[in-house]
């Protein structure tokens, strides 16, 4: 689910950097406040372990394919949301810098999609309330606690992966990169990630139950640590999750309607229904033929470089097309020359 640089516009990439940066700054301040500098090596080693663990293939029974570990949920269950989030940032940064897994500009978006949801949403809305509840039995009941770990892991991975996949679709659409309609893109991404989330949830649950059996004190909100209690009851959590689901689901069904341009429909309503039920915008002022659009297009024309292209049935631009193609050939020749010169000088140096 790693986003690439090419899928984001500079504005969306910068926005996601600000969002992830704010969450990171808050996590750092929480860590400093709790004076948890001693957690640094644990965070680093856990992040390294997740990095290595994500490269191990786990066979999915009955299928020929394999699944991987869900890092965000595992780290937040082990280290808590703040330390877990920072550890996930380092995992994603190393993947980005050394393996080109996600781009440098897309790092902010990747941190948000994979670390923020996994560590904050997964911990505060799923792990903590479920582990603090008396679901499946009493709090000190060993089997009930195991079941709670399994449920929280699976639910956490499924929900956070769905949110992450939805964000990928939203960020790409807002960047105006893909021609693929929002509804079709979401319809492709979400079901795939539902299956992936389920498998990742099972793997994470298996690892966390093993840790619970061997060293329960390592897990957050388990045993003695859980006695502090959750600020949010399970019922409240389910309500919050239901509201989020309705909002996301509602938004999706809106976009997934038969209307080919869901975003425009959402903004301007439709002609039959009038503009009374829309978001308060009317097409005359904000639509394609509005004054705002004309001003925007005037600005675009002065800054746009597209007119250099030759459009169909536009003979005056034919010359520009030729110069564009010829220029491309010159650039390609220059690129080859640079490579050849590099090779020549290196040979000379080694000779």
Partner 1 sequence: MNKIDQALTEFREMDELADQDSPVHHFPALVKLPLTVIYILTVLSFHKYDLSGLFVMILFPLFFFQLGGISVRRCLYRLRYVLPLVMAVGILNPLFDRSVLLRIGNVNISGGWISMLTLMMKGVFSLMASYLLVASSGIGRICAALRRLHVPAVLVTLLLLTYRYVTVMSEEAAVMTDAYHLRAPKQKGIEYSAWGSFLGQLLLRSMDRADEIWQAMQLRGYHGHFHYVGETPASLKDWLTGILLAGLFVFCRCWNVTALLGSLFV
- If binding is defined by CB under 8 A, does position 48 make contact with partner 1? yes
Q: Which of residues 328-347 bind partner 1 (CB under 8 A)?
A: 328-332, 334-335, 338-339, 341-343, 345-346
Which lies closer to partner 1 via its Cβ, residue 101 or residue 294?
101
For the bound state, the minimum distance from the C-beta of residue 233 to partner 1, rounded and expressed in Å, comes to: 29
Q: Which of 141, 261, 284, 308 binds partner 1 (CB under 8 A)?
A: 308
Which lies closer to partner 1 via its Cβ, residue 67 or residue 132?
67
For the bound state, the minimum distance from the C-beta of residue 88 to partner 1, rounded and expressed in Å, comes to: 10
Task: Give the span between the Cα atoms of 260 and 266, in whole angstroms.
Answer: 11
Residue whose pair of structure tokens reads 């780290």 in the numeric block: 75
Residue whose pair of structure tokens reads 């957050």 in the numeric block: 220
CB 116 within 8 A of CB 84: no
- If binding is defined by CB under 8 A, does position 37 make contact with partner 1? yes
Reference 47, options 19, 76, 21, 25; nearest CA is 76
- If binding is defined by CB under 8 A, does position 45 make contact with partner 1? yes
Crossing angle between the packed helical segments 142-175 and 71-79, to the nearest 10 degrees: 130
Q: Which stretch binds partner 1 (CB under 8 A): 22-30, 140-148, 226-234, 238-246?
A: 22-30
Distance between start and end Cα atoms, the chain = 46
- If binding is defined by CB under 8 A, does position 232 make contact with partner 1? no
For the bound state, the minimum distance from the C-beta of residue 36 to partner 1, rounded and expressed in Å, comes to: 10
Q: Which of residues 175-214 bind partner 1 (CB under 8 A)?
A: 176-181, 185, 202-203, 206-211, 214
Which lies closer to partner 1 via its Cβ, residue 64 or residue 280?
64
Task: Give the span between the Cα atoms of 147 and 50, in whole angstroms.
Answer: 23
CB 22 within 8 A of CB 89: no
Task: Give the span between the Cα atoms of 173 and 184, in whole angstroms.
Answer: 11
Q: Which of 224, 276, 306, 351 binds partner 1 (CB under 8 A)?
A: 306
Which lies closer to partner 1 via its Cβ, residue 93 or residue 282?
93
Other beta carbons within 10 angstroms of residue 319's beta carbon come to: 10
Task: Give the span between the Cα atoms of 2 and 96, in whole angstroms.
Answer: 9
Q: Which of 44, 238, 296, 299 binds partner 1 (CB under 8 A)?
A: 44
Q: Which of 147, 190, 195, 218 binds partner 1 (CB under 8 A)?
A: 218
Task: Give the span between the Cα atoms of 40 and 23, in whole angstroms.
Answer: 18
CA distances from 186 to 158, 190, 191, 264, 265 (A): 16, 6, 9, 17, 17
Q: Which of residues 52-81 bind partner 1 (CB under 8 A)?
A: 52-53, 55-61, 64, 66, 69, 78
Which lies closer to partner 1 via its Cβ, residue 117 or residue 185?
185
Q: Which stretch binds partner 1 (CB under 8 A): 101-109, 112-120, 156-164, 244-252?
A: 101-109
For the bound state, the minimum distance from the C-beta of residue 65 to partner 1, rounded and expressed in Å, comes to: 9
- If binding is defined by CB under 8 A, does position 91 make contact with partner 1? yes
- If binding is defined by CB under 8 A, does position 250 make contact with partner 1? no
- If binding is defined by CB under 8 A, does position 282 make contact with partner 1? no
- If binding is defined by CB under 8 A, does position 310 make contact with partner 1? yes
- If binding is defined by CB under 8 A, does position 25 make contact with partner 1? yes
∠64-70-71 over CA atoms, to 5°?
A: 140
Residue whose pair of structure tokens reads 């781009």 in the numeric block: 103
Task: Give the span between the Cα atoms of 245 and 79, in whole angstroms.
Answer: 27
Q: Which of 15, 19, 49, 283 binds partner 1 (CB under 8 A)?
A: 49
CB 212 within 8 A of CB 205: no
CB 127 within 8 A of CB 73: yes
């Amino acid at each position: 689910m790693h986003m690439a640089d090419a899928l984001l516009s500079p504005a969306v990439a910068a926005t996601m950097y600000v969002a992830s940066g704010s969450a990171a700054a808050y996590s750092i301040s929480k860590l400093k406040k709790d004076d948890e500098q001693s957690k640094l090596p644990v965070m680093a080693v856990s992040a390294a372990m997740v990095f290595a663990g994500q490269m191990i293939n786990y066979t999915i029974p009955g299928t020929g394919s394999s699944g991987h570990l869900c890092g965000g949920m595992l780290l937040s269950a082990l280290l808590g949301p703040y330390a877990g989030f920072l550890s996930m940032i380092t995992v994603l940064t190393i993947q980005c810098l050394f393996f080109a897994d996600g781009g440098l500009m897309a790092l902010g978006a990747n941190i948000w999609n994979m670390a923020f949801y996994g560590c904050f949403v997964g911990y505060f809305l799923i792990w903590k309330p479920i582990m603090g509840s008396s679901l499946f039995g009493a709090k000190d009941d060993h089997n009930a606690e195991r079941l709670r770990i399994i449920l929280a892991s699976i639910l956490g991975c499924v929900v956070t992966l769905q949110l992450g996949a939805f964000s990928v679709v939203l960020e790409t659409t807002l960047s105006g990169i893909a021609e693929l309609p929002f509804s079709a893109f979401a319809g492709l991404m979400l079901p795939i990630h539902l299956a992936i989330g389920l498998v990742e949830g099972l793997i994470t649950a298996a690892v966390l139950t093993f840790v619970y059996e061997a060293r329960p004190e390592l897990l957050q909100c388990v045993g003695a640590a859980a006695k502090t209690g959750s600020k949010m009851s399970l019922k409240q959590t389910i309500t919050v999750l239901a509201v989020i689901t309705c909002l996301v689901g509602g938004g999706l069904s809106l976009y997934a309607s038969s209307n080919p341009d869901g975003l425009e429909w959402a903004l301007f309503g439709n002609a039959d229904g009038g503009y009374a039920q829309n978001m308060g915008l009317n097409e005359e002022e904000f639509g394609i033929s509005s004054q705002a659009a004309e001003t925007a297009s005037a600005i675009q024309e002065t800054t746009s470089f597209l007119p250099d292209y030759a459009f169909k049935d536009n003979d005056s631009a034919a010359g520009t097309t030729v110069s564009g193609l010829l220029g491309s050939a010159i650039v390609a020749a220059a690129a080859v020359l640079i490579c050849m010169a590099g090779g020549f000088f290196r040979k000379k140096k080694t000779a």
